[in-house]
Structure 1
Amino acid sequence: MTGKLTPLAAAIALSLSVGAVNAELQTETVEYTVDGKTFTGYLAWNDSDQGERPGVLVVHEWWGHNEFARDQAEKLAAAGYTAFALDMYGKGKVTDHPKEAQAFMKEATGDPEKLQARFAAAMEQLRNHDTVDDNRIAAQGYCFGGAVVLNMARLGMDLDGVVSYHGSLGSPITPEPGDISARIQVYTGGADQMVPAEQVGTFVTDMQQAQADFSVTSFPGVQHSFMNPGADAIAEEFDMPVGYNEAAAERSWEGTMRFYQEIFAR
């Protein structure tokens, strides 16, 4: 027998359906310390998925741990992963001005051992989460974060894979064959003035000499920060050579999802 729901029944049904949707995506802001300094991370996972699943670290752009980084963590959670948008600068160090961002980045990269310690501490936060299979961990980064994840791979950190989006490809770290265990994906813009063709070529040579398992995708005519929808406003306000590119962003994300399916296959 069918018929219209009474107003009370309809309200209950709506409440239950909304509750089910809200129950799927779970997020948590996490404060943790490294060398006595406080950092703020953001966990995201889908609690409608059962059991442990791979974890993915998200490393922010040079602006710091902002909404864009958290949005990426939520996208990963929707795809079936537990994600942790980490903090490489320290609590409260987030900005929308290039000069301040540059200062934050300079401080963070000034001591490579501290940078690695901050990354390692965030990895432990992710690994210790109840939903995470701590034997399946990857990392992805944007701009500054892209350079960070590549350097963590060069240092031989225990990662299944890393993905760099418009990240710097140069590094003072010169890995030897066998140093890099993580598989690597790089997405870069062919018109990225901050990651010129010469840098891409050197990266390819370095990775080949290190016998790394890697791929590089270059998008013709695409500028720096192509993954971030806010890049066009930044370009206009600060006259910076950056720009969002929807097609490149979608292809990069689709490629990343295929990459994770491959490296996490059990």
Structure 2
Amino acid sequence: MKTITTALSAATFALSLTSTQVIADMQTETVEYTVNGDTFTGYIAWDDDVEAKRPGVLVVHEWWGHNEFARGQAEKLAKAGYTAFALDMYGSGKVADHPDDAKQFMQEATSDIDNIKSRFMAAMELLQNHDSVDGDRIAAQGYCFGGAVVLNMARLGVDLDGVVSYHGALGSSIKAEAGKVNARVQVYTGGADQMVPSDQVADLVREMQDAEVDLTLVSFPGVLHSFTNPEADRIGKEFGMPVGYDNAAAKRSWDGTLRFYNEIFAE
């Protein structure tokens, strides 16, 4: 097994390729890597039939952890012509089936913003160094918890071309500052999302406007939290949570994301 070790300013990580699969022309790899002594499991997908280097997109999971939904989003991006890395923010094996566990994992991860940034930057460097990727063209998209993560990375000035938040929390103790945010920002939220109320939406628009950030925000009327995840209806019924899948919103947000990437990576 080949191991690659790279030094980072905020973290060190070792990468091991644990398995490789071929789906038509799409290649996928499950990888284990370490950040500050902790082990994480990620998933890379790309189209091996394309010879040219292409942009890379980081995929940050929901509060459930690095699961099949996150991997599926990476595969969709690979089919669209990108190399995608579904990263892991919690640590290997920390995937929740119950909201209580998801809440605990999320609180542990978000207790230290430096830890969050270190984990994100390690994954970003791993993606940038992939043979198929143009390391100067990187974006990130996140869902729920992951949506908040990518917004905070933009606020912190991480060198990303763009970030996309799907039904992510919009409020943060970190605030965007004029001249600091490098990424263009796109946000998709549900108009009936009880976890992301309208005051959060208004505050984000004001924050980004004051910081002179290029923001596109789409609010889908009557749409609940987790609208991109087909499992949301089952989860809502099982745990009594105000979440629900919406096929139209999921499709519109995905199509809008691909148009967004076409724009930012063509610049």
Query: TM-score, normalization: structure 2?
Result: 0.91
What is the match of residue 210 of structure 2? 209
3-state DSSP of counterpart to 1:264? helix
In the TM superposition, residue 248 of structure 1 has moved relative to its aligned partner by 0.2
Q: Aligned equivalents of 1:231 and 1:180: distance in 2? A: 32
What is the match of residue 178 of structure 1? 179
Q: Aligned equivalents of 2:34 and 2:110: distance in 1? A: 18
Structure 1 gap segments, 5+ residues each: 1-20
- Aligned partners of 1:23 and 1:47 also within 8 Å: no
What is the match of residue 110 of structure 2? 109
What is the match of residue 11 of structure 1? none
Q: Aligned equivalents of 1:221 and 1:69: distance in 2? A: 25
In the TM superposition, residue 176 of structure 1 has moved relative to its aligned partner by 1.6
Structure 2 counterpart of 1:89, which letter? Y
Q: Deviations for 1:239-258, whole angstroms, at most 9, x for unmatched residues?
A: 00000000000000000000
Q: Deviations for 1:138-197, whole angstroms, at most 9, x for unmatched residues?
A: 000000000000000000001000000000000001222111110000000000000000
What is the match of residue 82 of structure 1? 83
Provide the identity percentage: 71
Structure 2 counterpart of 1:103, which letter? Q
3-state DSSP of counterpart to 1:32? strand
Structure 2 counterpart of 1:80, which letter? G
Aligned pair count reads 246
- Aligned partners of 1:69 and 1:85 also within 8 Å: yes
Structure 1 counterpart of 2:93, which letter? G
Q: Deviations for 1:37-76, whole angstroms, at most 9, x for unmatched residues?
A: 0000000000111210000000000000000000000000
Where does 1:43-58 land on structure 2 (aligned, <5 Å)? 43-58=44-59
3-state DSSP of counterpart to 1:145? helix
What is the match of residue 230 of structure 2? 229
Structure 2 gap segments, 5+ residues each: 1-21
Q: Aligned equivalents of 2:48 and 2:24: distance in 1? A: 7
Structure 2 counterpart of 1:109, which letter? T
Q: Aligned equivalents of 1:129 and 1:30: distance in 2? A: 12
Where does 1:20-39 land on structure 2 (aligned, <5 Å)? 22-39=23-40
Q: Aligned equivalents of 2:201 and 2:38: distance in 1? A: 35
What is the match of residue 9 of structure 1? none
3-state DSSP of counterpart to 2:45? strand
- Aligned partners of 1:23 and 1:48 also within 8 Å: no
Q: Which structure is higher in helix share?
A: 1
3-state DSSP of counterpart to 2:200? helix
3-state DSSP of counterpart to 1:64? coil
In the TM superposition, residue 95 of structure 1 has moved relative to its aligned partner by 1.0
3-state DSSP of counterpart to 1:135? strand
Q: Given the alignment of the two structures, is residue 65 of structure 1 paired with residue 66 of structure 2, yes or no? A: yes
Q: Deviations for 1:81-137, whole angstroms, at most 9, x for unmatched residues?
A: 000000000000001100000000000000000100000000011011000000000
Q: Aligned equivalents of 1:204 and 1:137: distance in 2? A: 24
In the TM superposition, residue 23 of structure 1 has moved relative to its aligned partner by 4.2
